[in-house]
Chains A and B, each alone.
Chain A
Amino acid sequence: MYPVSAAYKLAITDPTFEYIVTGTIGNQAFDESSIVNGTFRISNQCTDSSDFNLGSVYTATLEATFRGIAIPRQEWIGKTINFGVSLKLRNGTYENIPFQPFVIREAKHSAEGVSVVAYDYMIKLDKKFKKGHFQFEGGWWGFVDEIENDTGIVVGMTDEEIEALPNGDEAVELVGSNGKLKDFATDIETYRDLVSWMAQTLGSFATINRSGELIFVPFKDENSNVDTISEEHRIAGAVFDDFVTNYNGIYVTNTATGDETYYGYDIPTLEAELTAAQATRTSLLNQLDQLEAQWQAHEITEEQYKAQKKLLKKQISNIEKRIKWLQKALSTATSEEGNYLDIGENPFVQENSTPATVQTLRVGILNALNNISYTPFTCETVFGIHYDLGDIIRFEGGHAGEDGASCCLMAFNWTLNGTYQMQGFGSDPGVPMIKTKTQKSTKAANQNAVTAMNNSGGDAGMQYSVRISENMQMVDYTVVS
């Protein structure tokens, strides 16, 4: 969510809204009086419209009809539209919400005015991928540098921000020791393909932020909502599904052999880790009690007390987050319901480095999916331009039910002086997303194999990856962690 003031948050609870637009097309200024009513529309999304997926790279679209802008014919296409939209606050002033720059790709002259279609800088990625040219060492930052050099796009993330993403601190490479692109990466046609595989491996989607920079955004925990919208702020017609989408497995296609590997959570590992985390929390809480006692007895200075307390509180908060995560993973893993995500032939998780890295990356993607626990929805409001894709929004009351629904903003379609339509997608975990009978059997066989290994006492406390033959028999399994 774009950071807005308290006055803005108050203004969106009012029944009336007044927006103004200020911006430029090339070097020509425009405002709402240059826009034909009802034609100024922006849309964008971060997953497919049919179902949730990881690694989407969508381009935002701006459509509008302008009148009275002094740009000669045949000079519209290629011009950049820079603008912000401001909402009137209670005190009569306006608060500006910026948007990323859009580049005009189509312009049509008609009786109404000049109708344009413009796209954000994501279109810079629609460029043929220079194969064999990616020469660098180490992690993701190398890819980011090359993409910036080759396409002119700017990546709006620091090294630390990339490292904080799922799999963000892992080493990856697509170029072999002979300096040539590895075979499995030869399917990458454009930079958009490359960014999509990167985003998927980073458990994220790629989008353009309000400064016009490429960013990778991970899917957030359903409790990290940025806002709550109640029924009196939703336009009649909202629809919420009766299920919560979650994932307890992924499939990866191994390019070399063409077979698929299933990854699921291993319950004993999760249980062991949860017990350990809970023990750590108890120990940290005891340490905090001791510290308090020392402080009361004047055995330590105030500075020491404050510094140690701060450190302990941070450790406790981290371990509590981990406990929540583990509890959730465990509940997903033990539930009979759950979707799997087919991540296909992602070149980053093939035999690109040591096999251990490949396994770590694959499990990293599975772990990133643990955050997903969203109710699919469609809802319209008269405000919303301050929200960003991937934001978690809680809906309460009315059709969202008494307990409310946690939803992830996966697509929006906003019309100036009209409505902000929000959507979130996903499938019912009770009805597995089966495309073919073979896949269904594969999933069942995989699950059976994992269960069989667990029951036979296998390597309890480990995560497995299982290979399945064409006739649905377990070929072998590898210990992941």
Chain B
Amino acid sequence: MLATYPIKINSTAIPFPTGWSVAPKRLANNYETEAGTRQVVVLRNARTTFSGSWTVSSRWLKKFLEFRALESFTLSVYDVTTSAYADHTVSITDDSFSYELIEGSKRVKNTEGLYRVSFDMEDF
């Protein structure tokens, strides 16, 4: 599905990730009743955290660094429930962004070096 529906940030298709995970989290207030059962007020069914890692050229690293500086951006990902793109307004979470130079990649042509980039994005 990633081949047909590449991940997009602000409508720009980004390179295929080498690792990709999605973690929806339910936000709720839990209460225990007099009978010992549980009652839950659901604030939001899924606040999702997306984690990805990529191996990219320095040109794409620059783009990712630009996204990181944004207060928020639109992340479009394939939604298996609707078989279509779903848009999420997200930001890159603090301290999650890191990148490292891949050893020996400086000689790879037209790349100015290859980098391993990883970061998390969270729904607003």
Contacts and interface: CB of A to CB of B under 8 A. Distances in A.
Contact of A235 (B32, B42, B43): B32
B63 interface: no
A399 B34 contact: yes
* Dominant secondary structure at the B interface: strand
A362 B62 CA distance: 84
B41 A18 contact: yes
Contact of A236 (B29, B33, B45): B33
A231 B41 contact: no
B37 interface: yes
B34 A236 contact: yes
Nearest to A32: B43
B40 A231 contact: no
B40 A15 contact: yes
Interface in A405-455: 417-419
Nearest to B40: A16
Band of interface residues on B = 10 to 19
B18 interface: no
A235 B29 contact: no
B31 interface: yes
B93 to A, nearest CB: 19
Nearest to A398: B34
B63 to A, nearest CB: 28
A184 interface: no
* Dominant secondary structure at the A interface: mixed
B35 A231 contact: yes
Interface string B15-51: 0000000000000110111110111111101000000
B35 A417 contact: no
Interface string A228-272: 001111111110000000000000000000000000000000000
A103 interface: no
Nearest to B38: A15
Contacts of A211: none
A286 B100 CA distance: 98
Interface residues of A, number: 23
A232 B33 contact: yes
B39 A235 contact: yes
A17 B34 contact: no
Interface in A190-249: 230-238
A419 B31 contact: yes
A15 B43 CA distance: 14
A385 to B, nearest CB: 12
Nearest to A235: B31
A418 B41 contact: yes
A237 B42 CA distance: 21
Contact of B37 (A15, A37, A238): A15
A176 interface: no
A382 interface: yes
Contact of A232 (B28, B37, B40, B41): B37
A18 B29 CA distance: 11
A17 B33 contact: no
Interface in A289-326: none
A231 B43 contact: no
Nearest to B31: A235
A16 B43 CA distance: 10
Given A236-B31, A382-B40, 7 more contacts: A16-B41, A231-B33, A231-B35, A233-B39, A236-B32, A237-B34, A398-B35
8 contacts: A15-B37, A232-B33, A232-B35, A235-B31, A236-B31, A380-B31, A382-B31, A382-B40
